[in-house]
Structure 1
Amino acid sequence: MPLTFTLDPAVDRALRDGVLDLWTDVSNAGGSVGFVPPVTRETIRPELVRHLVAMAEGRARLLVGHDEQGRVAATAFLTLNTHRLMTHWLWLYTVMVHPRHQGRGYGRDLLAAAGEAARAIDGIEAIRLTCRGGLGLERFYESCGYKEVGRVPGAIRVAPDDDRDDVFMLLPLT
């Protein structure tokens, strides 16, 4: 059954806790969303608060996918550029699908919904995101229409002697 996506949902305790649980579960399953396992909800909470503040200030928007039970199953944050020379594209951050839902095409659905949301924002011509190298994420994003446009070798240190590339991807919307 497909996910139901909502852009800019009202943030209440249930949504906040659902995103926090999703982020924790994705991180602990080895997902490339800013943390290295093991993590707890309390480890992730400050980063979620930063995202929520950006939303409250109008700098970011949340796209959330709920499963058939109404649980938060996927998210992406669309972050607008404040630099006057870069307002024609936005960043896509914290792209997550819960491990129990992976392999069902929900990642593609999430990226398609993010593309639709970005296209609806006046003046946005492209989406940029970064991903951690070494996990095959570049191939997934390329299969969804993104193109690798840059790479910083060894920029992400996930453990001693385990450095990964920071890969920049772009999806033109026009």
Structure 2
Amino acid sequence: MALFFVVDPPLTPALRDGLLRTWTAASNAGGAIGFVPPVTEDDVEPTLDLQLAAVARGRMRLLVGFDGDEVRAAGFVERNTHRLMQHWVWAKTVMVHPEAQGRGAGFALMLAIAGLARSMPGTEAIRLSCRGGLGLEDFYARCGYKEVGRVPGAIRVGPGDDRDDITMLLTLG
């Protein structure tokens, strides 16, 4: 499966539906993208709509990986608005549909996010936050990111199940 990536695609109802299906499926497959399974599209929809509104306002950028017409990967990139930190961006809500996992789609997505960030004038680095306990920091390290911070137990996924909030950084060269 070879994905093709589109930066800032038109925000159509079909794209929204594809993102909603992908986010829900990835969450239910154990993806750490703001939810704990089981989730429904009704659970994910309000959060997706907030992020799409930020894209529509120009506050976030959207990168979507397609296989044909199907959304199979996506990520949001947000410029830091603090005047002393505008030289780096956040990668947020990075997701790969379960049908595309294990085939290099995640690595391709992270390369495409780096390309998008490089195209944003003045951007020198990408930061992202990931949930501990899933090996995500190892995946991001293979993509060139370095762990630069960790808050133990900051993410509560359930009673008695606290995970570290890990900050990763990719310096763009």
TM over 0.5: yes
In structure 1, distance between residues paired with 2:12 and 2:42:
18
Task: Give structure 1 regions of 4+ aligned residues with deviation exceeding 3 angstroms.
Answer: none
State the shift of 1:170 in Å: 0.1
Q: Give ranges in structure 1 of 5+ residues lacking alignment.
A: none
SS at the partner of 2:46? Answer: helix
In structure 1, distance between residues paired with 2:79 and 2:59:
5
Alignment pair present for 1:56 and 2:56: yes
Could you tell me which residue of structure 1 aligns to residue 90 of structure 2? 91
In structure 2, distance between residues paired with 1:130 and 1:160:
22
In structure 1, distance between residues paired with 2:30 and 2:146:
24
| Structure 1 segment 57-136 matched on structure 2, within 5 A | 57-67=57-67, 69-136=68-135
Q: Give ranges in structure 2 of 5+ residues lacking alignment.
A: none
**Once the two structures are superposed, what CA deviation does each residue of 1:128-163 show, in whole Å capped at 9, x if it has no partner?**
000000000000000110000000000000000000
In structure 2, distance between residues paired with 1:28 and 1:15:
20
Could you tell me which residue of structure 2 aligns to residue 2 of structure 1? 2
Q: CA RMSD in A?
A: 0.7
Alignment pair present for 1:45 and 2:30: no
Could you tell me which residue of structure 1 aligns to residue 22 of structure 2? 22
TM-score normalised by L of structure 2: 0.98
Q: Which amino acid aligns with 2:126?
A: I
Bigger shift: 142-151 or 47-56?
47-56
State the shift of 1:58 in Å: 1.2
State the shift of 1:57 in Å: 1.6
Alignment pair present for 1:165 and 2:159: no
State the shift of 1:81 in Å: 1.0
SS at the partner of 1:49? Answer: helix
Q: Which amino acid aligns with 1:27?
A: S
* Number of residue-to-residue matches in the alignment: 173
State the shift of 1:2 in Å: 1.1
**Once the two structures are superposed, what CA deviation does each residue of 1:92-131 show, in whole Å capped at 9, x if it has no partner?**
0111111111110110000000001100110000000000
